[in-house]
């Protein structure tokens, strides 16, 4: 650590990122503390991880209270941020973004909240996306200033005081501490925090008294840490429920809802399942994907509950105009996002599990159903993961395309390499790096053959970088008079790289 501090002694944004990288662990733990997987037990808690939880590795929550104390914050300071805490498998980011947008619109009309903080992950185009004020990532200067505030208190002073607690925060834990510090210093009057992966043992569960908690759709994901069953996953997600706070959930499968209700009873929390809100406009572009109507409805319930408790205004309810304006100004990078360039219309969604890939294709089909005569479609896909089964996701993509009515799109497969020259951006999210397993690195090339086995007459192509895949699509779009509709999906890394490159192209005026 002394060497890292000495090398990065100049307090720049670049050096802050280098120091942050030193806090990554080399690999996620594969072994479990548990001897069984009865994590749905109502008696499981942080002190009984070894006996009753299926959690793998060390709980990310451990150490957070000590670290918060070392940087100068108490439970009362955290509660004063007026936190909306959101967990789930799919739709967490979108739901948080809807909450942020709705609160901002209400705040513009009433004066509260003036500042809305948002902490989320992962980032797609820069690390600062994870920490936002009023929908805008904090600046490089602000990130750097607050980074070194925390770094000095936890690492520089640690080197001088052997009595400080061990271990020290890892990457995500440090970012959460940085976010909390930022929101306090910037005077956030409402704060939205998205969990990292789970809930019960997640670092974000340091929140002692959220105003309201929300659970988005729960599915089978991150099973190595939260599984093996969907009931186990639900048990972890519901860990964010707190006595004295309100709790809401999107509609769930019966077995999931049963676990959520059991955990709500355990924690003395009233849980409400939220269906589609009939007040949401039917023709809004942001709600073309059916799942976004669910996420928006959950967000409306969360904001309404938040305002009933925290708004100083005599009028504590959202108006229809707040909802309509909130939806109109909603944005969430890489989730059901549309970008138009002269030769193509790009539809980007970082779907990386079978549930979300189906939703992405359904949205793409709906958005392109009435495109101009002569339009054609293309899909750019990549998925390479040690935790998820890429070929199974590819088969799910094939099924979804067949059922959606999107017939015979040209398929372009690529890697996670962003540029053809291999250059890596300074603040790209390196958690989305290619796997170390050599056999997986060849998988993108193999997708072409796999697709041919499912569709013998299909047009397929492999491009070694995201940049080359986009350039190929652009050339095809030019040949077809700008009528090419391109779905980019299968990986947050792929979508993040595509977004960055497309934004660069627009900025350069190309």
Would you say 493 is a known binding-site residue?
no
Q: Is 194 annotated as a binding residue?
A: yes
Q: Closest by alpha carbon to 213, among 245, 258, 176, 190?
A: 245
Q: b vs e for 489-503, b when ≥16 Cβ sit within 10 Å of the residue's Cβ?
A: bbbbbbbbbbbbbbe
- Residue partners of 130: CB distance under 8 A and separation at least 6: 119, 120, 121, 122, 123, 137, 175, 179
* Residue listed under structure tokens 């990532």: 137
Distance in angstroms (rounded) separating the CA atoms of residues 37 and 17: 38
Q: Which residues does residue 377 pair with via DSSP β-bridges, in sequence order?
A: 485
- Helix (H) or strand (E) run with residue 106 in it: helix 92-110
> Listing from the earlier edge strand, what are the strands of the sheet with 410-413?
337-340, 344-349, 484-489, 376-381, 410-413, 460-462
Can you tell me the distance from the alpha carbon of 102 to that of 173, in angstroms, rounded to the nearest whole number? 28
Q: Strand 212-215's sheet: what is its strand order?
A: 136-137, 131-133, 116-119, 190-194, 83-87, 212-215, 246-249, 271-273
The DSSP result for 449-488, as a single string, is HHHHHH-TT--EEE-SSHHHHHHHHHHHHHHTTT-EEEEE
436: Cα separation from own chain's centroid: 23
CB 257 within 8 Å of CB 301: no
14 labelled ligand-binding: no
Radius of gyration of the chain (CA): 23
Locate 102 and state its tokens.
């709705």
* Residue 74 host element (H or E): none
Residues making up the annotated binding site for Mg(2+) are: 121, 194, 222
Residues making up the annotated binding site are: 121, 194, 222, 335, 349
Residues making up the annotated binding site for ATP are: 335, 349
């Amino acid at each position: 650590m002394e060497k890292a501090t000495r090398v990065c002694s100049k307090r720049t944004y670049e050096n802050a990122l280098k120091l942050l990288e030193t806090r990554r662990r080399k690999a996620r733990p594969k072994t479990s503390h548990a001897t069984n997987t009865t994590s749905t037990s109502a008696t499981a808690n942080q002190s009984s991880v070894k006996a009753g939880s299926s959690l793998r590795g060390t709980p990310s929550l451990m150490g957070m209270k000590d670290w918060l104390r070392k940087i100068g914050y108490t439970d009362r300071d955290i509660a004063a941020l007026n936190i909306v805490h959101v967990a789930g498998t799919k739709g967490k980011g979108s739901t948080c973004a809807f909450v942020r947008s709705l609160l901002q619109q209400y705040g513009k009309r009433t004066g509260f909240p003036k500042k809305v903080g948002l902490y989320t992950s992962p980032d797609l185009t820069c690390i600062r996306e994870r920490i936002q004020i009023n929908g805008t990532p904090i600046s490089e200067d602000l990130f750097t200033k607050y980074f070194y505030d925390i770094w000095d208190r936890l690492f520089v002073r640690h080197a001088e005081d052997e009595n400080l607690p061990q271990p020290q925060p890892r990457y995500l834990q440090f970012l959460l501490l940085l976010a909390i510090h930022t929101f306090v210093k910037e005077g956030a009057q409402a704060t939205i925090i998205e969990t990292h992966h789970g809930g019960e043992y997640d670092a974000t569960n340091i929140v002692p008294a959220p105003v309201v908690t929300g659970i988005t759709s729960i599915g089978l994901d991150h099973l190595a840490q939260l599984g093996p069953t969907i009931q186990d996953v639900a048990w972890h997600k519901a860990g964010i429920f707190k006595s004295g706070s309100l709790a809401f959930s999107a509609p769930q499968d019966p077995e999931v809802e049963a676990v959520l209700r059991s955990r709500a009873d355990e924690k003395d929390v009233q849980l409400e399942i939220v269906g589609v809100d009939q007040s949401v406009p039917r023709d809004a572009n942001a709600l073309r994907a059916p799942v976004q109507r669910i996420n928006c409805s959950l967000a409306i319930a969360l904001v309404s509950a938040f305002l009933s408790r925290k708004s100083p205004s005599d009028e504590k309810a959202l108006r229809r105009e707040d909802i309509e304006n909130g939806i109109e100004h909603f944005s969430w990078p890489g989730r059901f996002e549309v970008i138009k360039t002269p030769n193509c219309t790009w539809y980007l969604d970082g779907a990386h599990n079978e549930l979300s890939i189906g939703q992405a294709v359904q949205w793409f089909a709906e958005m392109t159903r009435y495109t101009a005569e002569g339009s054609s479609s293309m899909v750019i896909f990549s998925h390479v993961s040690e935790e998820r089964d890429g070929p199974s996701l590819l088969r799910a993509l094939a099924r979804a395309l067949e059922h959606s009515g999107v017939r015979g799109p040209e398929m372009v497969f690529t890697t996670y390499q962003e540029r053809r020259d291999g250059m890596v951006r300074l603040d790209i999210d390196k958690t989305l790096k290619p796997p170390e397993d050599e056999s997986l690195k060849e998988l993108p090339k193999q997708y072409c053959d796999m697709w041919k086995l499912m569709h013998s007459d299909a047009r397929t192509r492999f491009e070694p970088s995201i940049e080359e895949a986009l350039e190929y699509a652009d050339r095809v779009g030019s040949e077809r008079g700008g009528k090419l509709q391109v779905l980019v999906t299968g990986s947050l890394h792929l979508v993040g790289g595509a977004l960055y490159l497309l934004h660069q192209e627009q900025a350069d005026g190309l």
